[in-house]
């Protein structure tokens, strides 16, 4: 089987281009990360990045909003524009023969958006509806609010924005934000599919080479302390969010941290599901996940239960988190490895997954990470190395957020 090959280049303006050649597929995909995410939202204007991501795609270059959508459909491009904590993210996938045309369309979106005032009301309506949907779904809201509290401001502020800040967003303020932050320095373009760097670099240089300027904004490195907070809601259910410190993706112990969380919550045989839901019947949903920024990480846990059983659910959840340091079975680690290898095989067949991974790895690590390297790190995990991580980073210093009729102890 022909192996995938990864190459990269950096344009003079600072845009890094990563290309993974996948001879076995007919598709191609790209993921462009621009350092303009919600962490850069102006004070009292949280939601600016999300509004901007939508607005930029409503007419660009010489195409109106309708013409732009028609062109994307004509090329068979499945694309989306979103905001994350750090980045505006532009993603698309198509047949490899259409990749050059797709990149030209998206260069217009990034470099020449119309940002027409008549489109702004629809943009803001969409942002508001998304926020109202979160308000109506306590299960989602508890995790959004937990992130806000377990990371220091502005790193914890939600990319979706807040209803309170929406009234402060205006066409002029969002346009000014675009001019201030959408710059090529630090931008990363990950491409994967049946293409080569030699194929795409001339196109990328042509359409993005004239992009100039520099986003030199700095975000302060702050610290925060664990918090406990309850948000009152008249309901028969209680939503529980628990977070505690872990390591960042760039940390040498990241894969051990990943394995530890997967022992807790890697499937229906994992500890949280088995002990809290299956054996005790305390909740209808429970999970843990590893969330990381560039320089820090948190384990995030969720449990949804009835108000009557909420305190017991929280008590058992914390006990299971702390019990992880007592020991891990070889069978538990073997199941984690098997799940990871299945995911790697599926990722190897997906140009969209690979393009996103290329960009993500370059952002966090400043280098290319191959699937073979990931596989070798997973294979190298042992019960001893995972336990060493757990003992060095025990489950403690909990931030706890609950939503429901009564606060918990």
- Per residue in 118-129, pLDDT tens? 999 999 999 999
* Mean pLDDT, residues 97-101 taken together: 97
The per-residue pLDDT for range 171-185, each reduced to its tens digit, is 999 999 999 999 999
pLDDT at 391 over 60: yes
Predicted TM-score of the model (pTM): 0.94
Supply the pLDDT for residue 169. Answer: 98
**CA geometry: angle at 147 spanning 152 and 174, to 5°?**
75
Where along the chain do its domains lie? 5-208, 228-404
CA distances from 370 to 214, 217, 353 (A): 30, 31, 13
Residue with tokens 């999300």: 50
Supply the pLDDT for residue 83. Answer: 97
The per-residue pLDDT for range 46-74, each reduced to its tens digit, is 999 999 999 999 999 999 999 999 999 99
Task: Report the range of poorest mean pLDDT among 2-6, 197-201, 370-374, 375-379.
Answer: 2-6
The per-residue pLDDT for range 253-293, each reduced to its tens digit, is 999 999 999 999 988 889 999 999 999 999 999 999 999 99
Supply the pLDDT for residue 2. Answer: 59
Contact 8, 368 (CB under 8 A): yes
Return the C-alpha torsion angle 74, 76, 81, 84, nearest 10.
-170
DSSP assigned state of 186: T
pLDDT at 334 over 60: yes
Which class for 153: exposed (0-12), middle (13-18), buried (19 or more C-beta within 10 A)?
Answer: middle
State percent of the chain over pLDDT 90.
Answer: 91
* Mean pLDDT, residues 226-255 taken together: 96
CATH topology of domain 228-404: Cytochrome Bc1 Complex; Chain A, domain 1 (3.30.830)
* Mean pLDDT, residues 291-314 taken together: 96
The first and second tokens of residue 96, run together, are 């490899």
The per-residue pLDDT for range 6-44, each reduced to its tens digit, is 999 999 999 999 999 999 999 999 999 999 999 999 999
N-term to C-term CA, the chain: 57
Q: Report the CATH superfamily, name and number, of domain 5-208.
A: Metalloenzyme, LuxS/M16 peptidase-like (3.30.830.10)
* Mean pLDDT, residues 76-95 taken together: 96
Supply the pLDDT for residue 1. Answer: 46
Q: Do domains 5-208 and 228-404 have the same CATH topology?
A: yes
């Amino acid at each position: 089987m022909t192996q995938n090959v990864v190459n990269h280049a950096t344009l003079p303006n600072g845009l890094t281009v990563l290309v993974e050649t996948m001879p076995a597929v007919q598709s191609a995909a790209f993921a462009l990360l621009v350092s303009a995410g919600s962490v850069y939202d102006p004070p009292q204007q949280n939601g600016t990045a999300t509004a901007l991501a939508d607005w930029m795609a409503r007419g660009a270059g010489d195409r109106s909003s309708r013409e732009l959508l028609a062109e994307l459909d004509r090329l068979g491009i499945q694309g989306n524009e979103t905001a994350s904590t750090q980045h505006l993210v532009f993603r698309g996938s198509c047949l490899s023969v259409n990749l050059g045309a797709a990149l030209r369309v998206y260069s217009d979106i990034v470099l020449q958006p119309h940002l027409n005032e008549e489109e702004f009301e629809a943009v803001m309506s969409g942002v508001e509806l998304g926020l109202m949907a979160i308000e109506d779904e306590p299960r989602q809201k508890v995790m959004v609010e937990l992130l806000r509290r377990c990371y220091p401001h502005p790193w914890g502020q939600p990319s979706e924005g807040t209803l309170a800040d929406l009234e402060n967003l205006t066409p002029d303020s969002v346009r000014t934000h675009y001019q201030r932050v959408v710059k090529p320095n630090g931008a990363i373009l990950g491409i994967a599919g049946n293409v080569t760097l030699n194929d795409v670099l001339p196109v990328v240089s042509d359409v993005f080479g004239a992009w100039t300027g520099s986003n030199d904004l700095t975000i302060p490195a702050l610290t925060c302390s664990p918090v406990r907070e309850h948000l009152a809601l008249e309901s028969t259910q209680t939503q529980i969010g628990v977070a505690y410190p872990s390591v960042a993706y760039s940390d040498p112990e990241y894969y051990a941290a990943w394995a530890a969380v997967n022992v807790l919550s890697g499937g229906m045989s994992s500890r949280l599901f088995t002990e809290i839901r299956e054996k005790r019947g305390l909740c209808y949903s429970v999970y843990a996940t590893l969330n990381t920024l560039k320089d820090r990480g948190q384990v995030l846990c969720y449990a949804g239960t009835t108000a009557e059983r909420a305190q017991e659910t929280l008590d058992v959840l914390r006990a299971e988190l702390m019990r992880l340091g007592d020991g891990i079975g070889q069978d538990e680690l073997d199941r984690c490895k098997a799940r990871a290898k299945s995911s790697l095989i599926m990722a190897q067949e997906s140009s969209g997954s690979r393009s996103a991974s290329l960009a993500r790895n370059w952002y966090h690590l400043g280098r290319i990470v191959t699937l073979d390297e990931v596989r070798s790190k997973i294979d190298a995990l042992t019960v001893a190395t995972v336990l060493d991580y757990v003992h060095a980073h025990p489950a403690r210093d909990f931030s706890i957020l609950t939503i429901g009729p009564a606060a918990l102890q």
